Amino acid sequence: MAQLNDIIQWCNQALKAHEFKDYAPNGLQIEGKSEVRKILCAVTASQDAIEATVAQGADLLLVHHGYFWKGEAYPITGMRGKRIKTLIQHDISLAAYHLPLDSHPVLGNNAAIADLLELENIEALDPSERNPVGNIGYLKQPMAPEAFRAFASERLGFNAVHLPAAPAFIQKVGFCTGGAQDYISKAAEQQCDAYISGEVSERTFYEAKELNVHYYACGHHATERHGVQRLAKAISEQFNIEYSYFELNNPI
């Protein structure tokens, strides 16, 4: 058992949450009981994830995608209202970390992608960023574009979409998880052979061809399912409490 405030303070410090200008508040979003015996982590605070938290008797739902995004309507009604009502009725806390969890060099989504794809010599995709949310890594051996698509698909558990470019081999790879397809321009500036993100837009097809960078869309959910598990495991070890992961295999 651990104190909720201690867990949140530790996460905020470990992830340097205060250093990010983000699209939603990082940290504690909904406050439940003060003592935490079990954590359930998930990519997104969906109704299914909340109901799993209730069913498993967890006290804290830890996610990458929480609530209160910029541009959202203020009234707590409809789908979001039902989600928040369920959390409050069961005295469950919700904590969310977005860009800080993408960026963290050990616990983050990008760090997990680098490990899964066996990328080495990790550096910033944008060297001007204090806490880079995108990275560059190098394959140990160059790979043909289609071989790399198969490799990434197998390692990330997602049938990657490949938008081709001219380079015959891939070694220098830019990557930023989630919906960061537009960072392909940053990958081009850094002379990457390929760039990986989660989603793909119609315009990305032309950008890959004209910027001459192979693009691989490996799934928003699939590229961001690992960071929250790493964070929950670190909390579990720090505070000696139980955690579990809820997988809702989102195909996007």
Q: Could you read off the pLDDT of 178-190 as tens digits, one per residue? A: 999 999 999 999 9
**Residue 24 burial (C-beta neighbours within 10 Å; 0-12, 13-18, 19+):** middle
Mean pLDDT of 28-33: 98
Q: What is the CA 37 to chain-centroid distance, rounded?
A: 25
pLDDT of residue 44: 98
At 31-89, the pLDDT tens digits run: 999 999 999 999 999 999 999 999 999 999 999 999 999 999 999 999 999 999 999 99
Measured in residues, the chain has a length of 252
Mean pLDDT of 129-140: 96
Confidence band, pLDDT 50/70/90 cuts, at residue 20: very high
Mean pLDDT of 212-220: 98
pLDDT of residue 6: 98
- Strand order, beta sheet including 170-175: 120-124, 135-143, 170-175, 194-197, 214-217, 161-163
Record the pTM.
0.96
Mean pLDDT of 110-128: 98
Q: The tokens of 22 are what?
A: 């983000």
Domains of the chain: 2-97+226-244 (3.40.1390.30), 109-223 (3.40.1390.30)
Mean pLDDT of 116-125: 98
